[in-house]
Structure 1
């Protein structure tokens, strides 16, 4: 069974999308089959991996993205998967094994304009269809916006694990605290829809410090985050094995360059002069992906 994982923090701007895209790529490099599902209405992960020209087509048509399974409801998740999504200029496959369920701006309509069957909320509709393809993957990753509204609920309900990207600042700590509170409320709301075969509801299994700028001392923010994590562990509001990851992701200009090129950073590891400017951050993502594989929940 695939490990189903949401990346989420109630604080925005923590570099969540760069973390999930590059972690997905690193997992593939380590031999894993990965599906990334984009539930962030900003569509950043989809635009990044598809590149703007390909993404513009489905955004203009209003079909081919995840909202299609809700309205008009004629598509299924399996129909939306873009196999081996990372391509070169001539359409050559650059990272076989990384698939994408894309989103477009119309996903915002799920929050206010969608009126579905109350007995089948969007998160249940999505999960029931995801089961059709789950066996094809080792990891299914959900890029969620900084809330637990309907779009995020689709990823969170389908997940068993949740990882929190954080910056070394007070706002990330506040975002983590709010996330745990909101997560508990959603689990209470959705409990009647869960089935035993799904496994346990998503718990926070880890925090990863991301986009750390050069010269920033993270020890005090890390200590404060650890204290809060310990409190939540004692209260059984996060997984018993929840931890702050040893791997830390540094800020690097090459990450922004990778976004512009529509490639994971591991495929943009040298600058125009041939210097391996991205090697450090590439290693950071590889270390995090390796640690993530090792941090699998105990059956």
Structure 2
């Protein structure tokens, strides 16, 4: 069974998508088979990796994107997977092993127009279809929106663990606190839909400080975040091994350049120095690899 990880914080603007895209890339470059599922209607991960010329037709299509699996008889999740998504100008594969399930702007409709024919919630439908393909992968990463609404629930319900991207500021701490409360509510709501063979209920296992600007002292924000983590551990609201990651990711111009080029940072960075944001992503990915999977 693959490790299925949701990346979510109730605060937006923490650099979640850049973190998820580049961690997925780093894990694939280490030889893992990785599926990135874009659950955010803003579609930033999808636009980044597909580039506009491949994403634009999807955005007006009836099939081939995440929302289409919720339309009866239209599409299955397996039909939406874009294999080896990172491509060069001639269509050549630049990063084998990284696939994506793209989102389009229509995904926002799941929050107010979705009603299944059999009364099942979206997350149960998604879980059933994901189960058909999940064993093709070592890692499945869910790029969740900054909430725990229907789209985010799809990833959280299927996940074995949750990581929280964070900036070293008070708003990220507030977002983390809100997230833990909303997760508890959702886990209670969804308990009756869990089926035999599913992994244990996903818990927050770590906070990853991301997009840290130069000359910013993160010691105090880390101390405050650690205090909150300790509180939640004592209350049994997060995993017992929840921690702030030893490695963090700095802010860098090359990340914005990578978005423009439609490539992960590792394929556009020409920095000779070992002290680069490319190494930050690699170090965080290695820390995830070195974190034991949740027991089944």
Q: TM-score, normalised by structure 2?
A: 0.97
Counterparts of 1:1-299 in structure 2 under 5 Å? 1-117=1-117, 119-270=119-270, 275-276=271-272, 280-299=276-295
Q: Counterparts of 1:75 and 1:296 in 2: how far apart (Å)?
A: 35
Q: Structure 2 unaligned segments of length 5 or more: list them.
A: none
Given that residues 36 and 98 in structure 2 are in contact (C-alpha distance below 8 angstroms), is that contact kept between their aligned partners in structure 1? yes
- Confirm or deny: 8 A CA contact 2:48 2:262 kept in the other structure: yes
- Confirm or deny: 8 A CA contact 1:210 1:250 kept in the other structure: yes
Cα offset, 1:72, TM superposition: 4.4
Q: Which moved more, 1:109-118 or 1:223-232?
A: 109-118
Secondary structure in 1 aligned to 2:197? Answer: helix
Instruction: Name structure 1 gaps, 5 residues minimum.
Output: none
The structural deviation recorded for 1:60 is 1.6
* Alpha-carbon distance in structure 1 between the residues aligned to 2:215 and 2:83: 40
Q: 2-side partners of 1:276 and 1:35: how far apart? A: 30
Structure 1: 4+ residue segments shifted above 3 A: 275-279
The structure-2 alpha-carbon separation of the partners of 1:278 and 1:22, relative to structure 1 and needing over 3 Å to count, comes to: farther
Taking the aligned partners of 2:100 and 2:210, their CA distance within structure 1 comes to: 23
Describe the SS at the equivalent of 1:284: helix
Quick one: distance in 1 between partners of 2:250 and 2:59? 32
Distance 1:298 1:165 in 2: 19
Partners of 2:20 and 2:217 lie apart in 1 by: 24
- Give the CA deviation at 1:258: 0.0
Shift of 1:73: 4.1
Distance, in Å, in 1 between the alignment partners of 2:6 and 2:147 is: 12
What is the alpha-carbon root mean square deviation over aligned residues?
A: 1.2
- For normalisation by structure 1, the TM-score amounts to 0.96
Is the CA contact 1:8–1:163 (under 8 Å) kept in the aligned structure 2?
yes
Residue 196 (structure 1) shift: 3.5
- Superposed displacement of residue 232, structure 1: 0.4
In 2, distance between residues paired with 1:46 and 1:106? 13
Query: Residues of 2 paired with 1:278 and 1:178: CA distance?
Result: 37
Q: Secondary structure at the match of 2:276?
A: helix
**Whole-Å Cα distance in 2 between the matches of residues 235 and 144 of structure 1?**
25
